[in-house]
Structure 1
Amino acid sequence: MEKYEQLAKDILENVGGVDNINSVFHCVTRLRFKLKDEKIANTDKIKALDGVVSVIQSGGQYQVVIGNNVPDVYSTFVEVAGINPEGAGETKSEGNIFNRFIDFISGVFTPVLGVLAATGMIKGFAAMFLAFGWLSDKSGTYQLLYAIGDSLFYFFPIFLGYTASKKFGSNIFIGMAIGAAMVYPTLAGIMAGKPLYTLFEGTVIASPIHVTFLGIPVILMSYSSSVIPILIATWFSSKVEKWMKQIIPDVVKTFLVPFFILLIVVPLTFLVIGPVATWAGQLLGAATIWLYNLSPIVAGLLLGGFWQVFVIFGLHWGLIPIAMNNLAQMHFDPILAMTFGASFAQIGAVLAVMIKSKNEKLKSLSIPAFISGIFGVTEPAIYGVTLPLKKPFIMSCIGGAVGGAIIGFANVKSYIMGGLGIFGIPNFFKPGSPIGSTILIVIIAIAVSFAIGAILTFIFGFKDPANAKAETEASGRETETLIEREILTSPLEGEVITLAEVADEAFSSGALGKGTAIKPHNGKVFAPASGVAATVFPTGHAIGIKTDEGAEVLIHIGLNTVQLEGKYFTTHVKQGERVEAGELLVEFDLEKITAEGYDVTTPVILTNSDKYLDILVVDDQTVKVGDRLITLVI
């Protein structure tokens, strides 16, 4: 815990504290917050924290991207915040319908994704060993491996009953009991027998009847691996539970509430909810396949090309339940299959950046990002490397699009929801079938995606944030390969000196931030960039500007001038007001301040200078208002 304790405390403070948190949970790389007011969160400060890759606000969630260490950071965070991890994900969804849908889907599926990927990998490897002839389907080794891999999928409604109930804020064990009833083995055995009669015979929804409940025919369905029926049943259960708690006396609530809920919800699930939801799932699966069959190549281009964009905004959650439904209804899925090359295109671009860049910090970021990407976790690559450089991200999207088109053209499908990255290859082994050309096509697709991402990044290049100090010293000028984050103009007319020359250790040591200082020729201070007057001291001797690009600039007029208590200073802006570049901020009487014995040297510093790779100050000895003064480099 100690390793991430300070990071957890800093995140907690800057999201607005516990009182601003409705819920928090994590996925593979992100802390996902539901905040009461996202405007309270200090996004810039969170982004600048050591250990935070980026911050994304999408789908009604405030997502703090951590990377591979997110489980440890999450466990530390809930302990520091005093949040019960079992209840950390419970929240009432707010916002528009789309945001509520994304929030619900992510909240239900995120807790099981790790185990889902693990069991899928085991199931995929078992299918691969069978296809290679290394194991027989009669061997105990194969049967045990398959049982381990298939366990979660077979009993999926039980797991979703837990996570959905937790999301709805209802009794999680009731949700699990509903899911368990749906996959009860005896009912599956009944379905194998001869039906009593068939409802809707001769139609697409013909349904054999094997049993009745109170004389009402029960349409038994195979709910193993299903998604939609349990989600609807659990939602209905949460409504019944709320109603039951209002009418049942407290003294008997403990057992009578679940007693009546199960007696009401489970039969209704078998009689109505399950069949209708299953038919809806079948129609949804048929609709996706119909769209896919219209043009698999176009579908592959779009899904493969935009998959990483979907991941950035959390929109991929809308496709995951469709893919799971396809696997449950048709035992295959083409949707996620077409996105498989995207992560390999991403690491291809990262490899090109790692080789081509001369910046040591970028190279060091690229190595772990590349390794994570091999295993399908691309957030470190996206937020740490390709997206900030822009062009490599675009090239990776092109690579993913081509890979998706290849998979779409070859009509390749996945048969399990398994691992990511290289561990996802077994997803394409069809259980019980010999190895054919499918795996070869998958390998070709990911190889092409990787190659396109790498080659295009090499050809089109990127603006390399090369080592600013080394190149400046070698060339005596600012290198053209720097990424200029922002230009700050001079707020005063006067003589430029280094901070080291300032007769105040707090400034000269750089403890307050990097920058420069100006010995003013007159008594007017102007805004060095557009932004907000974040701090205006009542004495008028100092003003802090937070620029539109995120720079936090402090202009301190004179040394120890706070002792003048505002005498000789006139401010023209108020704290919190917006200012435009070149706008008059403060006027001061230069002659009178000097006559009172004060040094009027004015430091201009970046209080968040650690956010930048380098801060370059002009070599000119004198500057006028509006001249380039400081270049901020990332």
Structure 2
Amino acid sequence: MKYSQLAKDIIKNVGGKENVNSVVHCITRLRFKLKDESKANTEVLENMDGVVTVRKSGGQYQVVIGNHVPDVYKAVVAEGGFQSEKQVDEDDGEKGNLFDRFIDMISGIFTPILAVLAASGMIKGFNALFVALNWLDEEGGTYQILNAIGDGLFYFLPILLGYTAMKKFGGTPFLGMVIAMALVYPDLEGIPGASEPLYTLFAGTVFESPIYIEFFGIPVILMTYSMSVIPIIVSAFFAAKLEKFFTKVVPSVVKMFFVPMFTMLIIIPLTFIIIGPIATWASQLLGEGTIWIYELSPVIAGMFLGGLWLVFVMFGLHWGLVPIAMNNITVLGQDPILALIFAHSFALAAAIFAVMLRTKDKGLKTLSLPAIISAFFGVTEPGMYGVALPLKRPFIFTVISSAVGGAIMGMSSTIGYVMGGLGIFQLPSLIHPDDGISTGFIGAVIAALVSMVLAFVLTYFFGGINKKQESNSPNPTNNEVENLVISSPLRGEVKLLEEIEDTAFASGALGKGVAIEPIEGKVYAPVSGTVSVLFPTKHAIGLETNDGTEMLIHVGLDTVQLEGEHFTTEVSQGDRVEKGQLLLSFDIEAIKEAGYPVTTPVVVTNHDQYELTTTDKQDVQPEDVLIEVTSK
């Protein structure tokens, strides 16, 4: 690790890892909570290469590093074996719109289990292949054990997602696991098999639901939660919020066991009573809607089902189609619904293959191969959650290609005659029991091939696979500035940097510029450029102009400890902003009442490359000239 030696030296001179209660970081400094600050060797740290200065404030021992503090923090956590309490999310700045945030959430929840997800999918696929080739007997012990190995993760998937989702939402991971365990509790899953329900809700409607149990007189609509995704994620979201609430209000002496107890007693019944039924009804509505679309036009139905199947899987809505398909085969001897989704796994496999060929990321390349194999055999989760969704465009191109394949199958009247597997193993189910190879079967093969070619070509040439890596590389610039005018981002009183209480800023170690004592809680863009840094706690924002001038606006001193409270951001990291655009708002009085100064340093961080002239005005308004920058 690049900063491992620096991390070792820092840990040694803060008194050793045994003297550290916790360590977090903000935009420029490591913030230690030490058991005994007298054991820290401040003088050595201040003279250490890689350390700007040391500051003690708010019960924290602060080691000022500079802009590369996230990398140093990771090294410190690794070397000291500390818990990463405030790890910076490297993608925070790329979450701008709602879709991006959703993708980030899904990726964050599924990424920790991708390796075992891919491995399980491969085992399931190979096991099905061995049966198809008559190498294994479905009744034999070898098949059964291999099936348990491959299918175990998928059956108990909610338990793993309970852990990762709670961690993503800031709750206790093991609490999420316990919630999921209740959802897949086998005795509850067996109740719907009872001979007679107590009564039936919504009889005669699409929402008809037999009731077998009640919870304090409230009817509970049971469903199968094994292999489901959405119910546990939604439950974990609300559980994390509820846990935080109880953590604040429950007395410390009983907090350890009352907080999880109250959380479980509320969230688990809520999931059985509300969250689960809503997911079930959404699935049923989807099924009914799909039949209506197919009767309207097989081609439109093919585009709808083929294109959106992966989206349905992602939300767990596909389970609403499976019972309808099973009923169609039982009653009618054939079903068009599942037949029309045949091409989606091949399109996904081809898109991931394009990613594997183009990507420069070794980890992504390694993950792609098992994801391709899994998708080819019909197990799409590893490739969808691990490769296509995080990169976005490959997922979109997969959806488009699958829709084209679905349209071809709709045009060919492709029909399924038995409940078969997915992927390559779905082909036998498309063979007519009397006529053999039909137009529908040939259409399915053509659709799969067309979808694969289209998904591969679109992803390979337009997938933006290495866009993220390229956007993170330094922009070529000669850093020559004819005359850059930095306007005041705030309304307030100008102060010299050396007059403020923060030694790191006052010394000029973090940049040259001025400070402003604001009288209005709004920060406007002082230049046109890109938001290069936006810390999760919203108290500091970095900008970079097209010519490479870098600047930092740090609202208040030690305000990182507010953890975003009293701050509202109007932009995201990576956004292009224009001069005068509102960047963030903050509540001056609330911050002061919390005990923090609102004095705001405005500095050019790469000042050593330029000549800076600061304003001689005592009071400034937004867009007044604050700093003039010229090349040396």
User: So what's the TM-score if we normalise by structure 2?
Assistant: 0.46
User: So what's the TM-score if we normalise by structure 1?
Assistant: 0.45
Larger radius of gyration: 1
